[in-house]
Amino acid sequence: NVQAKLRQLRADAAALQMTIDPMTNAVVPSSTFKGCQ
């Protein structure tokens, strides 16, 4: 279902230090993102 897919997307995004912007539903760097160093 859609809810499960959304949860998986959020989990995948978090693993990549990304987050889902609730206003735009875009994947954006999270506040803990440190870039590629």
pTM for the full model? 0.53
Q: What is the pLDDT of residues 1-37, one digit of tens each?
A: 899 998 998 888 888 888 888 888 888 887 776 666 5
Q: Which residues on adjacent β-strands are paired with residue 18?
A: 29
b vs e for 13-26, b when ≥16 Cβ sit within 10 Å of the residue's Cβ?
beeeebbbeeeeee
What's the number of domains the chain is made of? Answer: 1
Predicted confidence at residue 37, as pLDDT, reads 54
Range of the domain at 9: 1-37
